[in-house]
Amino acid sequence: MNNLKRLFTAAISVFSLASFSADAAFINFNDYTTSGYGNQYKSGDATSSADGSTLTLTGNLWVSLSEMFNVTSDSTLYFTLEASGVEAEWYGIGFDNNNTITANTLFQLGGNESTSANQILAYDFGDGAVDFAINVGSAFTGVFDRLVFILDADSMSGASLAFSNVEVCNDVAGCASLAGAPSAPTAVSAPGAGGLLALSLLTLVARRRLKA
């Protein structure tokens, strides 16, 4: 079906988060002020939607929001990604602790340039809105003080990237991302690509949304 982009398993396990754990809910971006991350706020803007469900990046910028995140092996990171304009060098998301780029806690989701971040590469430019569910815990655990969003577009102009319905769940039963879904995400085994870590199993589910 053309609304199902891909299902695959690649390497790592599950994110958890102190503030969005037992009673998980979508992050309301209107409750936060984003900051430039890792000296990579080069140009453009980061804006949230009126209802706070979506963070849109335009230009060439990496941003983060500050919150305490307890990363364990019992959480799943959900979000919807949509790129527009022109294809950027890379699109990413991840966690950090010191405002210094740490590739092994970042994930490259797509783009036309290879990086040393953990490779997922499930998003092809032109896909439209794609839902992700990433289990990450065997890559790293610990307490992190920011969530990072990446639109890297050094050599082009006109790139845009939107993150919507971002949620980190410990308990599937209480996960807003799965509430009312016709069925829970399903994964099948497939090889994963390398990052800085020797990765073994990461479950990722990405499905194309039906366009109106």
CA-closest candidate to residue 108, choices 118, 98, 100, 99: 118
* Predicted confidence pLDDT, tens digits, the chain (212 residues): 433 333 332 333 333 333 333 345 899 999 999 999 877 778 889 999 999 999 999 999 999 999 988 877 877 788 999 999 999 999 999 999 988 899 999 999 999 999 999 888 889 999 999 999 887 676 778 888 999 999 999 989 999 999 999 988 776 777 888 885 443 332 222 223 333 333 333 334 344 443 33
Q: How many CB atoms lie within 10 A of CB 137?
A: 18
User: What's the confidence (pLDDT) of residue 39?
Assistant: 77
Number of H helices, E strands in the chain: 0, 11
Give the per-residue pLDDT at 183. Answer: 37
Looking only at the bridges linking them, the beta strands covering 118-123 and 106-110 are parallel
Among 144, 156, 32, 129, which residue's Cα sits nearest to residue 95? 144
CA distance 80 to 91: 12
Q: Write b or e for each residue in 91-118: b if 16 or more Cβ atoms lie within 10 A of its Cβ, otherwise e.
A: bbbbbbeebebbbebbbbbbbeeebebb
Cα dihedral 82→94→116→190 (10° resolution) = -70
Six-digit token string for 163: 């993150």
Find where tokens 């900051």 sit. 35
Percent of the chain that is helix, strand, coil (3-state, to 5) = 5, 50, 50
Per-residue pLDDT, 82: 98
pLDDT of 24: 56
CA pseudo-torsion sign 204, 164, 166, 66? positive
* Structure token digits, residue 208: 């194309």
Of 34, 126, 133, the closest CA to residue 83 belongs to: 126
